[in-house]
Amino acid sequence: MMSSELQLTPSFLTGDRVVLPPYGVGTVCGTCLRPVLGQDVPYYELSFPHTSARAFVPVSAPASAGLRPALTGGDLATLLERLTSGAVDLPRQWAARQRSVTELLVSGDPFALARLICELRRWNLERGLPDLDRQAYQKAIKLLQQEIGGLKGRLAVQVSAVLAAAQGEEGPGRASYTGLL
């Protein structure tokens, strides 16, 4: 019988979509043995679309490297709810806010990113975003777009539409040049 404190290590199969910050969404190509201190240790071999990058993550501890399963269609309803009504209590002081935002971006947690996007979108529409906040906002949108890129269905289309709308919005007093290009 397992203890409730015991956390199960996720097991990945060849072909599974996964996320490995900072690489983003990738695919498990398989496993391989790599020598570590004279012993062969099993690793997941990951590939990332549109790049030649490969990463190797220990099979025994994928979470310690940040490896997690990519979003599935079953996650999209919750993601959409957080994108449209989520909130993050961000500090008003710039340095503290940048630390908080950076932690959220580095975590790669799609639900935390959705809440961050919702909050920064609200700020953007109310008063516009300073440059660093706008850059973080755009980065969060791109990370989430990448993760939902391989998903199909009505909810995937809705999430994509919300992200596209957020990406194209300009705050008060900011000119939009998208129609001029």
Q: If pLDDT is split at 50, 70 and 90, which confidence band does 107 have?
A: confident
Q: If pLDDT is split at 50, 70 and 90, which confidence band does 120 have?
A: very high
pTM metric for this prediction: 0.80
174 versus 29: the higher-pLDDT residue is 29
Q: Write down all domains in the chain, each with its CATH number in brackets.
A: 17-69 (2.40.10.170), 73-168 (1.20.58.1290)
Residue 136, classified by CB atoms within 10 Å of its CB into exposed (0-12), middle (13-18) or buried (19+), is buried
Give Cα 136 to chain centroid, integer Å.
12
141 versus 173: the higher-pLDDT residue is 141
Q: If pLDDT is split at 50, 70 and 90, which confidence band does 110 have?
A: very high
Average pLDDT over residues 100-120: 93
Total length of the chain: 181
Average pLDDT over residues 116-123: 94
Give the C-alpha separation, 48 to 164, whole Å: 23
Average pLDDT over residues 9-34: 88
Long-range contact pairs involving 47-53 (C-beta distance under 8 Å, separation at least 24)? 48/23, 48/24, 49/25, 53/23
The per-residue pLDDT for 119 is 95
The per-residue pLDDT for 150 is 82
Token pair listed for 130: 């300073």
- 22 cis-preceded (ω within 30 degrees of 0): yes
Token pair listed for 84: 């449209």
The 10s digit of each residue's pLDDT in 39-91 is 999 999 999 987 888 999 999 999 888 899 999 999 999 999 999 998 899 99
Longest dimension (CA), the chain: 65
Reply yes or no on whether the pLDDT at 168 is more than 50.
yes
Helix (H) or strand (E) segment spanning residue 42: strand 39-47
The per-residue pLDDT for 176 is 43
Give the C-alpha separation, 137 to 29, whole Å: 32
Long-range contact pairs involving 153-162 (C-beta distance under 8 Å, separation at least 24)? 153/73, 153/76, 155/73, 155/76, 155/77, 155/80, 156/73, 156/76, 158/76, 158/80, 159/76, 159/79, 159/80, 159/83, 162/80, 162/83, 162/84
The per-residue pLDDT for 7 is 37
